[in-house]
Structures are given as structure tokens and as C-alpha cells.
């Protein structure tokens, strides 16, 4: 198993990871964004993608957005998505991804990495608890859908 941080030239592996997300998250009627959009994301210094590769195929990965703070000079990293192909779950791959992301962000001087999990998603909650987080908070997540019609 190879854990790798994607570079701009790794667009095909980014697409593979998005397809893993599509299956694991059971995304109905998903439409892959144009390749130019995905390349633009990979080129951004405040966006990171880590993948797990087995037998030359992407089997898992996570995406991270950087948040610059106004309370401190060190940035925060937000894990937006993390998924492992269903057949390979519970084998430590997700934990390896978290470990690699933590090491990378620590080396870059980030203050912390954080991730959200739905309170009703017992599997995700159990997984993140096993990754030895510093702290766990019980929060509610609010969102506002913006229809640009």
C-alpha cells in the first residue's frame, strides 16, 4: 500500500478517488466536473489530496482544505472527505491516510487538522475515535443552500 499526496500531474488518480467517493458515499446521479476544474483545484496551494494506492489503483483517499486563521498565524487543515473502498474498509487504510496528512501538515507548520462526522454515522464516529484525536467535540452543523437560479 502506497500513501501519496497528489500533485498537479496526478489528475487521473484524483478522478479515480472521486469515483471511490461516488461509490462509497452512494452519490446518485453524480456528474464528474470538467477536468479543467479538477486541475485548477490540484494546482491550489490551499487544497490537498492524499490517496492510498494498491496494485496501481486508487483504493482510498482524503481531501483537505486549508483555512487561514485570524486568531493565529498557523493555518488549520479541514478534512472534507475521506473514503476507503468498501471491500478494503477496517484494514487500517483510513488511519494511514490520517497519519500521512497529519505528518505533512505538521511539517508545514499547521496548527491542527479537524474533521466533521454526522452524529448518526456510528461507523465514521468509531473510525475517527480510533485515529487518536486530541479532542472530540459534540457540535451541530448548519448549512445554507444557495440556489443561483
What number is the average pLDDT over the span 42-66? 97
What pLDDT was estimated at residue 133? 84
What pLDDT was estimated at residue 69? 96
Grid coordinates belonging to 27: 452519490
CA distance 135 to 145: 29
Grid coordinates belonging to 137: 467535540
Residue 94 pLDDT grade (very low, low, confident, very high; cuts 50, 70, 90): very high
Helix, coil or strand: residue 42: helix
CA distance 64 to 62: 7
Half-sphere exposure (CA, 13 Å, Cβ side) for 84? 19
What number is the average pLDDT over the span 52-75? 97
What pLDDT was estimated at residue 3? 98
Grid coordinates belonging to 118: 454526522
Tell me: the pLDDT tens digits for 8-28? 999 999 999 999 999 999 999
If one compares 146 and 64, the residue with the highest pLDDT of the two is 64
Grid coordinates belonging to 42: 490540484
Tell me: the pLDDT tens digits for 103-138? 999 999 999 999 988 777 777 878 788 888 888 888
Residue for cell digits 497528489? 6
Which residues make Cβ contacts (< 8 Å) with residue 129, sequence separation at least 6?
136
Residue 82 has pLDDT above 90, yes or no: yes
Predicted structure pTM score: 0.90
Handedness of CA 63, 66, 104, 124 (dihedral sign): negative
Domains of the chain, first to last: 2-130 (3.40.630.30)
Tell me: the pLDDT tens digits for 33-45? 999 999 999 999 9
Amino acid at each position: 500500500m502506497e500513501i501519496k499526496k497528489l500533485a498537479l500531474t496526478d489528475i487521473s488518480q484524483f478522478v479515480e478517488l472521486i469515483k471511490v467517493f461516488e461509490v462509497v458515499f452512494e452519490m446518485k446521479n453524480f456528474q464528474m466536473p470538467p477536468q479543467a476544474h479538477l486541475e485548477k483545484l490540484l494546482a491550489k496551494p490551499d487544497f490537498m489530496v492524499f490517496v492510498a494506492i494498491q496494485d496501481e489503483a486508487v483504493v482510498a483517499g482524503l481531501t483537505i482544505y486549508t483555512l487561514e486563521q485570524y486568531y493565529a498565524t498557523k493555518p488549520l487543515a479541514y478534512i472534507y472527505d475521506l473514503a476507503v473502498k468498501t471491500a478494503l474498509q477496517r484494514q487500517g487504510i483510513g488511519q494511514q491516510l490520517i497519519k500521512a496528512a497529519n505528518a505533512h501538515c505538521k511539517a508545514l507548520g499547521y496548527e491542527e487538522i479537524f474533521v466533521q462526522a454526522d452524529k448518526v454515522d456510528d461507523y465514521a464516529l468509531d473510525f475517527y475515535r480510533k485515529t487518536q484525536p486530541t479532542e472530540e467535540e459534540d457540535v451541530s452543523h448548519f448549512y445554507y443552500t444557495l440556489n443561483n437560479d
